[in-house]
Every structure is written in C-alpha cells, then in structure tokens.
Amino acid sequence: MKTWRNRIIFFVGLFLFWEVIVRLIGWPPVVMPKPTDVFPAMWTGFTDMTLVYALLASFQRLAIGLGLSLLIGTGLGIWLAKSKTADDTVGSLVLALQSVPSIVWLPLAIVWFGYSETAIIFIVTLGGTLVMTINMRMGIKNVPPLYIKAASTMGASGFEMFWKIILPASIPYAVTGVRLAWAFAWRALMAAELLSMGPGLGYSLKWASEFAKMDIVFGIIIIICVIGTVVDFLIFQRMEKSVARRWGLEESN
C-alpha cells in the first residue's frame, strides 16, 4: 500500500507541476496542452467510442503478433540450444537482428505487404520473436548439469529428459522472455500503427498530430504508458515473481 500511495502522490504532483508550468509560460494548446485540456479530450474519446475502437483494434493485432512471436521464439530458442551448428550460425543472426529497432523494418514491411494488417502483424511478431528466442535459448543452456546427471542416473534420456527435466528447469527464463516479448511487441505495434490506414492507437496518434490536436496526442501517449505499465505490473511481474518463488529463485514472503 505504501508503494501505491507514493506512486499516486508522485503522479498527482507531476500533473500539478505540468499544469502550473504551462500556465506560467503561457504555451498555446497546439504546442503544449495542460492536463486540464488532455483529460477532457481523453474522456471525450472514450465516450464517443473513438478510443475504445482504437484500443480494440490494437489489442487484436497485439494478440495475434505476440502469440506468433511466442510460438516462433520458443521453437527457435529450443533449436538453438540443442544444435551447436544452428547456434553458431542462426544464433549469431538472431543476436545481430535483436539490435535493430522494430521501426527499421517498417519500409520492408510496406514493400512486402503494403499498408495492410499483415505488415503490422509482421512488425509486432518480429519485435517479440527475437527476445523470446534469446531467453528460451539461455534458459535451456543454463539448466544446472546436476539436474541432468541426476536424471540420467535414474534412467531418463532423450525426449523424457527434455520434457521432464530440461524444459521445466528453463521456465523462469521463458517467463522472463514472455514479459520482454510483450514489452517489445507493444512498442513495435505502436510504431507500426503510425503507418496504418485503419483504427488503432498508433493511427489515432498520427491523425491527432496531423490536425494539431496535441491534447489528444498527449492523451494517447498517457494511455499507451498506462496500459504498458499496468499489464506489466499486474500480469507479467506477478507471473515472474510467482515462478521465481516456486523455483526457489526468490524467498517467499
């Protein structure tokens, strides 16, 4: 409770500071709107369902792209961990591509798929796949040798060894990979939607910017930040801590 109280006090103070500074300097709304301009614009966007439809469209794309990235990333990570040849070749490519920001892939996605849903989902999938691949590979690579030796003495081998020993031992890394894949996919989605032609938070942001509606621009930025923070805190951080406690990586309270 103390943590939440401190956060609430901080953000209330931040918005008050923002309001006071803008009023003192006298910036026009088309340059820097006040919180008292932004929050009514957000309310209007939700009451007329504009932002609701944009959120639904964004979440639908995110669900498809993130789902694909988790499936592909898990499969690739297992393959790289189990094959030294693949790790030395494809693994180095994955590491190289991980350093490329998702927005860099936008021109290629447009050329390959046009201004379509497929282009957006391609960017989102790519954004989450690489980080999931790396974490899954690390999880399998870092299984304690003692586990494998103990299982071998009890007769486990092959698929049974992988399914009952190696895969469960790598779950903490996999959960971290899921959390990071969500964050990367969410950011990739916002970047990709800036060039979309349909509803979505990124498209709404672009539209508001083109018509100099900075109150809506700031409102959408706040929504993006809030969704990213809330989903990470309420779902992925709790999942990660729960798995860490269960695997003995963190002390129970």
Q: Is the dihedral of CA 111, 95, 85, 160 positive or negative?
A: negative
Residue 133 maps to a domain: yes
Residue 220 domain boundaries: 38-246
SS3 content of the chain, % helix, strand, coil (to 5): 85, 0, 15
Pairwise pLDDT comparison (101 vs 21), residue with the higher score: 21
What's the pLDDT at 233? 83
What's the pLDDT at 251? 54
What single letter denotes the amino acid at residue 207?
Answer: W
Count of domains forming the chain? 1
Residue 4 maps to a domain: no
Q: Is residue 26 left, alpha or beta, with left meaning phi > 0 and alpha meaning psi from -120 to 50?
A: left
What's the pLDDT at 249? 56
Residues of the chain above pLDDT 70, percent: 93
- Reply yes or no on whether the pLDDT at 76 is more than 90: yes
Residue 169 maps to a domain: yes
- Reply yes or no on whether the pLDDT at 204 is more than 70: yes
Residue 211 maps to a domain: yes
CA distance 243 to 135: 15
Q: Which CATH number goes with the domain that contains 83?
A: 1.10.3720.10
Q: Is residue 156 left, alpha or beta, with left meaning phi > 0 and alpha meaning psi from -120 to 50?
A: beta
CA distance 143 to 210: 52
Q: Is residue 34 left, alpha or beta, with left meaning phi > 0 and alpha meaning psi from -120 to 50?
A: beta
Mean pLDDT computed over 34-63: 91
Residue 17 maps to a domain: no
Residue 238 maps to a domain: yes
Residue 1 maps to a domain: no
**Could you report the per-residue pLDDT of 21-32, keeping only the tens digit for each?**
999 888 888 888
Packing angle of the helix pair 2-25, 35-47 (nearest 10 deg):
110
Residue 13 maps to a domain: no
164 band by pLDDT with thresholds 50, 70 and 90: confident
CA distance 199 to 46: 14
* Closest C-alpha among 188, 169, 90 to residue 133: 90
Q: Is the dihedral of CA 71, 75, 78, 81 positive or negative?
A: negative
